[in-house]
Structure 1
Amino acid sequence: MELRQLKYFIEVAKREHVTEAAHALHVAQSAVSRQIVNLEEELGVQLFIREGRNVRLTPVGKIFLEHIEMAMKEIDKAKQEIDEFLDPERGTIRVGFPSSLAAHTLPTVISAFRSQYPDVGFELRQGSLSYLRDAVIRGEIDLAFVGPVPTNDREVRGQIFFVEQIVALLPSHHPLAEQSAIRLYQLRNDSFVLFPTGFVLRKIVTDACQQVGFQPNVSFEGEDIDAIKGLVAAGLGVTLLPEVTLIDNTPRTTVKIPVIEPNVTRTVGVIIPNNRELAPSEKLFYEFLKEFFTALNKFSQ
């Protein structure tokens, strides 16, 4: 079984067309067909069902594809790590992040890192906390920025960089808009605009509301920070958001107000896998992050 055969097999399985796969691979169609036949003969099973010019995987072909794709990812990862051992400052780092850290925190640290290591590349992937955790565990990404940071998880290791306030965002015409600070209980009769159930930022808000004796009335839900801000700006409700999401982008028709009772916060940092070592470029970035935020925290005190 040759690596070339496996690459041809994956391409044909993906496109379900031998000619299109050959064009994508920049080889002759006959070469692809011959290698697929050789692979089937070696395995002793039929991987594809031929339907005119198209093909589709047999049930055993689907099983084989699943395992081969995993194997190819490991081969690519091994090659990447070898390249990074030769030169850690020219690797590629796969980083996950939630939408709440996309506008300020992530660009700031990557820009600072690239100023020192301009040849390191990044692949960025956005998602919820649960998605990012699973992606780190599966090896689909190398590390992920998260908030809050899990501290008792066997499969990922969390590193907290800072603690940030969760603040209220109100329409500018709200009765409490002129207050310098509010108590969360004062919003008990308002409609809330929150992330959907299952998002950690929603849980932070609902837990805080329950702590002071009420269940928030959620009138709108959204997975996008800017959409939530827009709904508040339109006067359709109030919300609580991490302060970092409002640093550079607070809608004109809204006001940001601290919440003093209860004190609502979240930890922010990164998670890395517990089941494998970081590759050299990833270690370089991880150590940079720890030093960057240590210096930033000292400066902020």
Structure 2
Amino acid sequence: MDFTALRYFSATAHARSIRAASDRLHVSPSAISRQIAKLEHELRAPIFDRRAQGMKLTPAGEILLSKIDGVMREFSRVKSHIAALADLQAGNVDVYCFQTAIESFVAPVLNRFHTQYPDVTFNVRMSSTDEAMEALVAGTAEIGLILNPPVRETITRLEVFRDRMVAAFSPVHPLAGRKLLSLRELEGFPFVLTEPSFGLRQQLERVFVKHRFEPATFCVTNSLALVKEVASIGNHCTLLPRFAVEKELAAGHIKAAAVREFASDPLIFCICSATDRSLSPAAQVFMNIVMDYCRRYRH
């Protein structure tokens, strides 16, 4: 099967238009049409329904796309491996990471990497713990920067640092002057929390169940920025890793207190990868830079 035909098919499937795919690939629409027709002839089945609204995948096309996208990603990583042998360090690195990592250290790590290896490109996606784990298993991500990753045989976890959970609230909150609290002292205050797909929320729920604590949750969101913004106003509160609110603490926008029930249950930040796939040289270097930066940052 022709790799060019598969590449043209993938671009058309994602763009849902031969014209849009031709603009992206910088080839003529007729060349793409010929390659798609060639694929359909080889497969002996139509892979697109041609409609006025654009190109829609047939069931056969859906099956083909589900397999081809993984092949395309793996081919990109193979190019990274081969390029590294020539000391070029070219290729792509797909990274899934949690929002606090993006706010805290991903940008300076990418800057340091790009200064050394300007030919490597990165695809960075903000994700929940569950999304990142699924992406690693599916091969969509090569590296996952994950908070409290669940233990799985198919995933390799490398611990980078540990942090503690704190209650965060506004400077005018009734508990703003406290340094240490118990969960019971937070009863009655309105909570804003992250979604259940977040490793952070999953740890909170474990501790809530253990201590039979039911927070008065009025807002659930996948936006950490919204969690912090809501917690910084009025008598609302939340529970977050301390490093997630360090900037806000330094600026005086938020106050924080340690929570007694979380003292023996630390948050663990890990770099994760699929056990059955070797990292590309570029991904390995990126992982090393993340570890070095975070360890310096924590100290």
Specify the alignment match of 1:133 in structure 2. Answer: 133
Alignment of 1:162-201 (within 5 A): 162-201=161-200
**Inter-partner Cα distance in structure 2 for 1:96 and 1:262:** 27
TM-score (norm 2): 0.85
Q: Secondary structure at the match of 1:74?
A: helix
* Superposed displacement of residue 292, structure 1: 4.9
What is the CA–CA distance in structure 1 between the aligned matches of 2:22 and 2:115, rounded to whole Å? Answer: 41
**CA RMSD of the aligned region, Å?**
2.9
Residues 1:254 and 1:121: Cα distance change in structure 2 (over 3 Å): same
For the residue of structure 1 that corresponds to 2:184, the secondary structure is: helix
Amino acid at match of 1:270: I
Query: Where does the alignment leave 5 or more consecutive residues of structure 2 unmatched?
Result: none
Is the CA contact 1:85–1:280 (under 8 Å) kept in the aligned structure 2? Answer: no
1:253 and 1:39, CA in 2 relative to 1: closer, same or farther beyond 3 A? closer
- Read off the aligned partner of 2:269 and give its amino acid letter: V
Aligned counterpart, 1:82: 82
Equivalence for 2:96: 96
Are 2:76 and 2:92, in contact at CA under 8 Å, matched by a contact in 1? no
Structure 1 stretches lacking a partner, 5+ long: none
Report the number of matched residues.
297
**1:73 is matched with which residue?**
73
Distance 1:149 1:203 in 2: 10
TM-score (norm 1): 0.84
1:170-219 CA-to-partner distances (Å, cap 9, x unmatched) read 23232222223222321123221111233222232233344444222212
- Check the 8 A contact 1:93/1:120 in 2, yes or no: yes
Q: How does 1:196-275 map to 2 (within 5 A)?
A: 196-250=195-249, 252-263=252-263, 264-275=265-276
The one-letter amino acid of 2:204's match is V
After superposing the two structures, state which structure 1 stretch, 178-187 or 83-92, moved more: 83-92
Output the CA distance in 2 between the equivalents of 1:13 and 1:240: 42
**Residue identity matched to 1:167:** V
Distance 1:86 1:170, change over 3 A: same
Is the CA contact 2:248–2:254 (under 8 Å) kept in the aligned structure 1? no
d(CA) in 1 for partners of 2:118 and 2:5? 36
Q: Does structure 2 retain, via aligned residues, the 8 Å contact 1:160–1:269?
A: yes
Higher alpha-carbon Rg: 1
Residues 1:46 and 2:34 are matched in the alignment: no
Where 1:158 maps in the other structure, the secondary structure is strand
- The answer to whether the aligner puts 1:145 opposite 2:145 as a matched pair is yes
